Structure 1
Amino acid sequence: MRENAPPRQLAFDLPLDPRYGREDFLVSPANEVAYGLIESWPDWPDTVLVLTGPPGSGKSHLASIWATRAHAWTVAASEAGAGNVTHLISNGALVVEDIDRAPGRDEAALFHLLNLARERRSPVLLTSTVGVDALGLATPDLRSRLRLAPGAAILPPDDGLLRAVIVKLFVDRQLVVDLSVVDALALRIDRSLGRARQVVAELDRDALGRGRRITRPLALAVLERLGAGAPEDAEDGLD
């Protein structure tokens, strides 16, 4: 044990409020089709739009942008039950998040909601991590209804988007880092914006606990701890 090691500070895991404004969304080839559909409202070809993409890909951000424009309520799929369908549609526009989460999902209520939305011409935006055919729906009418609805898939991020999101994540946390840190992360983490959020949060906690700034060696050490590889320069020191 090194006697001259700096004392570790307490790192409080305070909640970070993500910024979901239109100006905060980063458009790239991975999401431009989905973004275009959101921007095209109210000129949608149907009352229902299904937005799919992996966790952390920006579905909730796009849904928030649309909800602001359409003055829509936002609920989780588990909150759309038989007793409140009429109430949910009464606002005129609705976002239903995470329809892929089967526990608590009421298929009959969701089907009724979509039919009522069509009858009243109320727009509904649905989000899911998987496509309609992978939802495991037991209600044939609901499955058919969702298959007919227009949709857009957010693809895994390209290099430019991944780097831009990493920079934004640091900025959101008021952290200033060298571009070598961004490059080290972008080259080694999974092609996932959710993974980028996890790694940046871990780096923030680690740097705060050590009382040190975020450097490339520290980033490599954190990546090694998270199982993202251990390049030879991860041992170069953390300052």
Structure 2
Amino acid sequence: MTDNPKQLTFDLGMEPRFGREDFLVSPSNELAYNLLEAWPEWPDNVLLLFGPEGSGKSHLAAIWAEQAHAWTIDAFALTKDRVPHLASNGALLIEDADQALIDEAAFFHLLNLTREKGSYVVITAAKPLGEWGLNTPDLVSRLRLAPSVSMEAADNALLGAVLVKLFMDRQLIVDTSIIEYIVVRLARSLSRAEKLVSLLDKEALSRRRRITKTMVSDILGREENDV
């Protein structure tokens, strides 16, 4: 048997944490956070929440959904036969409305029915409404009437704070210089930060070493090559 410097690791994974206590407020998301926190004191029953991938919009929407006891559905799963049931709950979260071929007739019917019933709807998307490719003028007009709020890509302060929390959640001790090193090199994405910390956790365990800048550089290099 030959010696292997690496230790066998098991990918136990960690489920994304979408609790209120796990959401960090910063200038990049403060406006969106305050608006969802103001529920149900909204000017309309529908709210559009925009933000690039990794901005934390799904996390923020999940916080609202828990508070409002909302049902959650992906936009592609919206069909006409489901509309009466979905509108009956009082609150509904529709995710990724710009990423799917939407049944526009069902979508428009749902918005009308939720307004009649006084139900609240939050709709998330990465792209602005004009880039969804909708073909139903009445649906576009209805969505344009709804208030909207955008979340920006994570700024340096937020990304650094999220990295600290992710390392702490995994009980990993890293020097502040490591955080600073990552912040200036990582894409402005909270999901990318979560993936990087997970990879570093496995690498550190495999090597039986603390996390170093060299380790971070190696993993970031691998990630770039895989793109």
How many residue pairs are counted as aligned between the two chains? 224
Provide TM-score, normalisation by structure 2.
0.92
Asked if structure 2 preserves the Cα contact closer than 8 Å seen for 1:63 and 1:125, the reply is yes
Q: How does 1:33-72 map to 2 (within 5 A)?
A: 33-72=31-70
Q: 1:58: Cα distance to partner?
A: 1.1
**Equivalence for 1:79:** 77
Q: 1:210: Cα distance to partner?
A: 2.2
Q: How does 1:155-174 map to 2 (within 5 A)?
A: 155-174=152-171
Q: 1:69: Cα distance to partner?
A: 1.5
Q: 1:14: Cα distance to partner?
A: 2.5
> For residue 51 of structure 1, what is the amino acid of its counterpart?
L
More deviation, 6-15/183-192 = 6-15
**Equivalence for 2:30:** 32
Instruction: Determine which of 13, 16, 26 is the counterpart of 2:14.
Output: 16
Whole-angstrom distance in 2 between the partners of 1:60 and 1:227: 25
Instruction: Determine which of 204, 223, 232 is the counterpart of 2:201.
Output: 204
Provide TM-score, normalisation by structure 1.
0.87
Structure 2: stretches of 5+ with no match in the other structure: none
> For residue 29 of structure 2, what is the amino acid of its counterpart?
N
**Equivalence for 2:107:** 110
**Equivalence for 1:233:** none
**Equivalence for 2:123:** 126
Q: 1:213: Cα distance to partner?
A: 2.2
RMSD: 1.8
Whole-angstrom distance in 2 between the partners of 1:9 and 1:75: 41
Asked if structure 1 preserves the Cα contact closer than 8 Å seen for 2:65 and 2:72, the reply is yes
Asked if structure 2 preserves the Cα contact closer than 8 Å seen for 1:34 and 1:152, the reply is yes
Whole-angstrom distance in 1 between the partners of 2:15 and 2:166: 11
SS at match of 1:217: helix
> For residue 125 of structure 1, what is the amino acid of its counterpart?
V
Whole-angstrom distance in 2 between the partners of 1:46 and 1:38: 12
Q: 1:141: Cα distance to partner?
A: 1.6
Q: 1:218: Cα distance to partner?
A: 1.1
**Equivalence for 1:150:** 147
